Amino acid sequence: MTQTTELLELATDIAREAGELAARRRRDGVEIAATKSSLADIVTEADREVEVLIRERLIEARPDDGFLGEESAAGGVSEGTSGITWVVDPIDGTVNYAAGIPFYAVSIAAVSGGVDPRTWTTQVGVVAAPATSELFRAARGEGAWLDGRRLAVAERNPAGALIATGFGYDARTHAGDLASLTAAFAYARDMRRMGSAALDLAAVAAGRIDAYFERGLNPWDVAAGELLVTEAGGRFGWISPDGARPMMLAAGPELFGVLADALPV
Ligand code: IPD
Ligand code: CA
């Protein structure tokens, strides 16, 4: 078994188990445990419990790997010695999860080449959506799949693009987000704000939507989804990499170029 296959199988098994735990806790009822950067930026007990489960499973299987998880990020990256770091969002779409909206996911990626997002290379990425039982998977150089189906980004649609975006939790940034939305609307047939960056990227990879852009995302929101998009033939990039809130864009190659020119950076 190659290392990539080993990493992909491990990520798949853990994402499934973690997704089942998240869904079970959702059925039991969700408690908001705390807020993070703002009152809108919540964390539930389930976020923490799911991240602990994922971390335990990874330590059992690969004790020498590093770990960067959303709920433990305040404590920094735990650096490993193997050259592989796991980048984990235990529940991406926490606001949906807490509200009972079934658009949330477990996102797990294995990256190599360093713990700094600007230097790493994602080797495998898995996004599990427990509410729909969908499992999106990608391995570097080997493609992206939804369950058994190979994924490909959408062709350019003459009627315009179906474009997803998201807004940060800080109200002071919303005027800028609305300016981006206005610029993108010139190329859109409709817009979506679905509430999970990992699933938005999976939707680009699956050709369900044509593009997704958002400022201010964190590495764990996108580590798995980036590989889904690029392995499905799309482009992923930070089109204003140096600002305080870099703009992330994912789309098919042609639309990527159009939106990269149109969006304010
Ligand atoms: C959030 C979701 C949301 C996006 C936010 C993210 P969380 O992650 O991906 O769609 O708009 O920027 O922070 O907080 O649910 O893990
Ligand atoms: Ca997230």
What is the pLDDT, as a whole number, of residue 42?
63
Q: Which is catalytic among the residues 94, 122, 165, 230?
A: 94
Nearest protein Cα to ligand 1, atom 11: 166
Distance 158 CA to ligand 2 centre (A): 32
What is the pLDDT, as a whole number, of residue 78?
84
Q: Closest-lying ligand to the alpha carbon of 201? A: 1
> Which pair of tokens denotes residue 254?
């042609």
Distance 240 CA to ligand 2 centre (A): 20
C-alpha span between 262 and 265 (Å, rounded): 9
Are the beta carbons of 30 and 51 closer than 8 angstroms? Answer: no
C-alpha span between 14 and 12 (Å, rounded): 6
Distance 91 CA to ligand 2 centre (A): 7
What tens-digit pLDDT sequence spans the chain (265 residues)? Answer: 899 999 999 999 999 999 999 999 998 886 666 676 666 666 788 999 999 999 999 999 999 999 999 888 766 678 899 999 999 999 999 999 999 999 999 999 999 987 777 789 999 999 999 999 999 999 999 999 998 999 999 999 989 999 999 998 888 888 889 999 999 999 999 999 999 999 999 999 999 999 999 999 999 999 999 999 999 999 999 987 667 788 999 999 999 999 999 998 7
Are the beta carbons of 220 and 69 closer than 8 angstroms? Answer: yes
What is the pLDDT, as a whole number, of residue 71?
82
Distance 105 CA to ligand 2 centre (A): 9
H/E stretch holding 88 reads strand 84-92
Name every protein residue with a CB atom under 6 angstroms from any ligand 1 atom: 70, 89, 92-95, 166, 168, 195-197, 214, 217, 221
Q: Which is catalytic among the residues 71, 221, 226, 231?
A: 221
Q: Which is catalytic among the residues 51, 92, 177, 210?
A: 92
Q: Is 89 annotated in the active site? A: yes
Nearest protein Cα to ligand 1, atom 16: 92
Flag whether the pTM goes above 0.85.
Answer: yes
Q: How far apart are the first and last CA of the chain?
A: 44
**CB under 8 Å to 229, separation ≥6 — which residues?**
144, 153, 201, 204, 205, 235, 236, 250
Q: Is 94 annotated in the active site? A: yes
